[in-house]
């Protein structure tokens, strides 16, 4: 699979080029266009991996219940995938390592990548990320998206990521919720409140913008929904 | 201090490298990521009273954050605004710049932030009754929703309401109808801001009220 990004970082889309018989798995609804030499099958699972339960679990985390499998019937088939929100996209390379992706950021992956739900503990409730995370393992390429630009940070020791800015991180990293400043008073008054304190050695991919903050600037001006 | 604006123009953010001993002032909640050993300290935006005024009247936060590097090597902090859009940098050397509510992102510690009465015209044209004015010496970063257009005005210029981001203080704002009565109310422009004088303005290519106006009829 060859991945080429267009229109980064504002309204990124990924052009996936497939060789004959190659397949790619994409989040339901991610495809925006494709060549006609591609066969789509929709399932609740990755082929020969897991099944209905995995689909249910995925639906629970805010990902789509269904996954679409795009299989190239001829050489040089292309699929263009993107997401609802404007923002950046990037690829992650898996070579037997594990990467944890914030649910909602997953777009597509090669079929050789294994996907399961992970649990990072109740701290996720307060981190403005989903409660569940996607654990990706195996070997292959993964396409992820973000709200805002994506930038990787090589962590060696400790690094602070504000809540709502995590896109993905190496499994070798761990994070704890903590205060942003020296004291709780300063953290809360300064508007930062809780932050995620990463420790270990590895990479964390962050998004520059915060969907909650943008929502807060829009929300009060939207009219209330009539019940 | 080494600052790079990245992700422009749609999702601009600031990568700031603070040298040992350096500080940076940033809008509350602007921090996205930072080195764990940077010092973060919240303080009133000006004094208590002035901070309160800025919050209630200027649309800014009551508190701002001061980040200080107390280590012996450079430390990085990444800042972003809440709206997706571009960021502009300006060097202040005793001159002043007026910022619309919400535009301020960060500044170096010697920049002074104050609040000024912007006038009824500014309030009615949805630009806020008060404006933030930045003075002193140092760097100032501010942002917008959408792209930023920098425009040098000599004489008169017209900006649609809610699109003005920043302007130099010697410029005067006036409110007027976009055209005649008919075209002002049916042409979709309504009221516009007339800017008079000599100086620079920054205009944003999108506006939050514009997005809200488009979204609201679709919610039911």
Residue B26's alpha-carbon distances to A210, B42, B80, B193, in angstroms, are 16, 10, 10, 29
Q: Which residue has the tokens 């999108």?
A: B206
* Optimal mutation site among B4, B18, B25, B36, interface A, most CBs of chain A within 10 A: B36
Q: Read off the pLDDT of each residue in A103-109 and give the average, rounded to a whole number.
A: 87
* Optimal mutation site among A89, A157, A192, interface B, most CBs of chain B within 10 A: A192
By Cβ distance, the residue of A86, A87, A208 closest to B80 is: A208
Q: What pLDDT, in 10s, does the model give residues B19-70?
A: 999 999 998 888 999 998 898 888 776 666 666 666 665 566 667 889 999 9
Q: What is the CA radius of gyration of chain B?
A: 18
Strands (E) across chain A are located at 2-6, 13-18, 23-27, 31-34, 38-43, 67-72, 77-81, 89-95, 99-102, 106-110, 113-119, 132-145, 150-162, 166-170, 174-179, 194-207
- In a domain, residue A227? The reply is no
**Contact between chains at A191 and B216 (C-beta distance less than 8 A):** no
Domain count, chain A: 1
- Can you give the CATH number for the domain in which A27 is found? 3.60.160.10
- In a domain, residue A130? The reply is yes
User: Which is higher by pLDDT, B100 or B186?
Assistant: B100
- In a domain, residue A210? The reply is yes
Q: Tell me which chain B residues have a C-beta less than 8 angstroms from the C-beta of A213.
A: 29, 82
Q: What is the mean pLDDT of chain B?
A: 84
User: Which is higher by pLDDT, B66 or B124?
Assistant: B66
Task: Give the model's pLDDT for residue B35.
Answer: 92
Q: What is the mean pLDDT of chain A?
A: 83
pTM equals 0.83
Q: How far is B18 from chain A (nearest CA, A)?
A: 15
Q: What gap in Å lies between CA A149 and CA A151, rounded to an integer?
A: 7
Q: Identify the domain containing residue A196 by its residue range.
A: 2-221
pLDDT band for A177, please (50, 70, 90 cuts): confident
Q: Tell me which chain A residues have a C-beta less than 8 angstroms from the C-beta of B63.
A: 189-191
- In a domain, residue A84? The reply is yes
Q: Read off the pLDDT of each residue in A163-188 and give the average, rounded to a whole number.
A: 82
Q: Is the dihedral of CA B187, B188, B191, B196 positive or negative?
A: negative
Q: How far is B11 from chain A (nearest CA, A)?
A: 5
Q: What gap in Å lies between CA B72 and CA B7, rounded to an integer?
A: 29
pLDDT band for A126, please (50, 70, 90 cuts): low
What angle do the packed helices A211-218 and B208-215 form, to 10 degrees? 80
Task: Give the model's pLDDT for residue A30.
Answer: 86
Q: What gap in Å lies between CA B106 and CA B90, rounded to an integer?
A: 11
pLDDT band for A142, please (50, 70, 90 cuts): very high
Shortest CA distance from A188: residue in chain B: B42
Order of strands, edge to edge, in the sheet holding A77-81? A2-6, A13-18, A77-81, A31-34
Quote the percentage of chain A above a pLDDT of 90.
33
Does the pLDDT of residue A4 top 60, yes or no? Answer: yes
> Do the interacting molecules here have an ipTM over 0.85?
no
Does the pLDDT of residue A184 top 60, yes or no? Answer: yes
Residue A142's alpha-carbon distances to A3, A157, A170, in angstroms, are 10, 26, 13
- In a domain, residue A226? The reply is no
Q: What is the DSSP letter of B211?
A: H
- In a domain, residue A168? The reply is yes
Task: Give the model's pLDDT for residue B214.
Answer: 82
Does the pLDDT of residue B89 top 60, yes or no? Answer: yes
């Amino acid at each position: 699979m060859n991945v080429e990004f267009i229109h980064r970082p504002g309204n990124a889309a990924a052009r996936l080029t497939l060789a004959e018989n190659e397949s790619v798995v994409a989040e339901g609804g991610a495809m925006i266009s494709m060549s006609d030499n591609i066969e789509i099958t929709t399932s609740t699972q990755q082929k020969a991996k897991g099944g209905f339960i995995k689909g249910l679990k995925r639906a629970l985390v805010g990902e789509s219940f269904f996954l679409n499998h795009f299989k190239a019937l001829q050489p040089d088939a292309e699929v263009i995938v993107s997401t609802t929100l404007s923002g950046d996209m990037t690829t992650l390379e898996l070579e037997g390592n594990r990467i944890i992706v914030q649910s909602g950021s997953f777009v597509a992956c090669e079929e050789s990548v294994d996907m399961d739900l992970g649990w990072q503990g109740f701290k996720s409730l307060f981190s403005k990320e989903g409660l569940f995370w996607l654990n990706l393992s195996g070997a292959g390429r993964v396409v992820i998206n973000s709200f805002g630009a994506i930038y990787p940070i090589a962590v060696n020791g400790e690094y602070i990521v504000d809540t709502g800015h995590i896109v993905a991180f190496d499994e070798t990293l761990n994070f704890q919720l903590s205060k942003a400043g020296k004291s709780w008073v300063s953290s809360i008054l300064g508007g930062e409140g809780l932050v995620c304190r990463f420790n270990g050695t590895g990479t964390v991919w962050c998004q520059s913008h915060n969907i909650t903050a943008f929502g807060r600037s829009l929300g009060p001006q939207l009219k209330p929904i009539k019940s | 201090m080494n600052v790079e604006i990245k992700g422009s123009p749609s999702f601009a953010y600031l990568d700031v490298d603070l040298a040992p001993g350096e500080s940076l002032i940033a809008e509350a909640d602007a921090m996205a990521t930072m080195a764990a050993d940077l010092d973060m300290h919240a303080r009133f935006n000006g004094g208590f009273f002035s901070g309160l005024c800025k919050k209630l009247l200027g649309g800014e936060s009551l508190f701002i954050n001061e980040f200080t590097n107390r280590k012996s090597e450079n430390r990085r902090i990444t800042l972003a605004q809440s709206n997706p859009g571009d960021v502009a940098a300006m060097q202040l050397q005793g001159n002043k710049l007026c910022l619309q509510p919400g535009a301020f992102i960060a500044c170096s510690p010697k920049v002074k932030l104050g609040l000024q009465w912007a006038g009824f015209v500014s309030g009615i044209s949805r630009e806020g009754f008060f404006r933030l004015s930045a003075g002193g010496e140092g760097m100032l970063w501010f942002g917008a929703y959408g792209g930023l257009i920098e425009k040098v005005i000599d004489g008169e210029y017209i900006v649609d309401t809610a699109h003005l981001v920043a302007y130099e203080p010697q410029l005067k704002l006036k409110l007027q109808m976009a055209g005649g009565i008919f075209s002002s109310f049916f042409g979709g422009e309504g009221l516009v801001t007339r800017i008079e004088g000599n100086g620079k303005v920054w205009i944003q290519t999108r506006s939050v009220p514009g997005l809200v106006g488009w979204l609201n009829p679709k919610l039911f």
